[in-house]
Structure 1
Amino acid sequence: MPLTVMNIVLADDDEDDRLLFDEAISEIDVKTKLSLFNDGKALMDYLVLPDTILPEIVFLDLNMPIKNGMQCLKEIRANDKLNELCVAIYSTSSSEEDIENTFVNGANVYINKPNSFSALKKAIDKVLKINWQYHTSALNRDNFLLRL
């Protein structure tokens, strides 16, 4: 049986964060194809292309230039082609307001950017192994914020 490859997208304007994420995901025992974008506009332009293979999970930084993560989240949820996508907010912000706003606007999980490489690997691994169909049907504020 062929290994299925998980198509993952990360939109983050911080180059170091993108590189760390790429490195961490390559060390996880889930086969992935990672596409990186350095702002929300580039991400959204890519997602709406007619021949784009939609990702299983979109990791979205909140604070990006041109188009921020919240704008992307709202566009994704408002688009019939994209509204089923799993969206993981991936942010340095731990403000209750940001967490609440992304929850209300339909994000699937909220990850505070971990401060160590091993914690980052653990967070990505955990998100990639969530059974999203079950998880999203049982989504509530208690399981929205990813706890490591």
Structure 2
Amino acid sequence: MSTKPMKVVLVDDDEDDRMFFADALQEIDLKTDLTEFHNGQELLDYLTGSCTEFPQLIFLDLNMPVMDGFECLKKIRSNPKFEDLVVAIYSTSSSERDIEETFVNGANIYINKPNKFEELKKTIAQVVKRNWQYEENEMDKGNFLFRI
């Protein structure tokens, strides 16, 4: 079994949300290496520039300055180099339109940001520990919106 940590990326402009997420991730019984970005442009610059090993999982907020999550997701999915990246939308929005748009544009899962720490920890644990190689081909609208 590999002892190499799982590379996780969080893209969110809200500092409190990033700290909350990092704390929850740290408490999960799984070795992870978290990299944080403030907007979609920072993520894309990283993926196309200094990134030597792609992350296994990207948590992407929707509402951010510079480049929002919608535009970032479209750019990721339009680049064949990134076709295997797993993108989890991580947003406070529960708008059907946002859920539909991110599903159509290739996100793997949609998560409403939990506002209780234990819920967040449980959510992150389930998403991080999921075997995405098998899930990828079975994704459909019915299991796209993550629920605890």
TM over 0.5: yes
Structure 1 partner of 2:6:
6
Distance in 2, Cα, partners of 1:104 & 1:52: 29
Contact 1:46–1:52, Cα closer than 8 Å, also in 2? no
Distance in 2, Cα, partners of 1:47 & 1:93: 26
Matched, 1:75 2:75: yes
Moved over 4 A (4+): none
Alpha-carbon RMSD across the aligned residues, in angstroms, is: 1.0
Shift of 1:63: 0.2
Shift of 1:51: 4.3
Structure 2 partner of 1:22:
22
SS in 2 for 1:66: coil
Structure 1: segments with no counterpart, 5+ residues: none
Shift of 1:2: 4.3
Shift of 1:4: 2.7
Structure 2 partner of 1:94:
94
> What does 1:1-148 align with in structure 2 at a 5 Å threshold?
1-49=1-49, 51-148=51-148
Structure 2: segments with no counterpart, 5+ residues: none
Distance in 2, Cα, partners of 1:93 & 1:101: 12
Distance in 2, Cα, partners of 1:98 & 1:29: 31
Distance in 2, Cα, partners of 1:83 & 1:62: 20
Shift of 1:84: 1.2
Name the amino acid aligned to 1:56: Q
Name the amino acid aligned to 2:100: E
Distance in 2, Cα, partners of 1:27 & 1:101: 32
Name the amino acid aligned to 2:121: K
Shift of 1:52: 2.7
SS in 1 for 2:13: coil
Distance in 2, Cα, partners of 1:44 & 1:51: 10
Distance in 2, Cα, partners of 1:143 & 1:11: 23
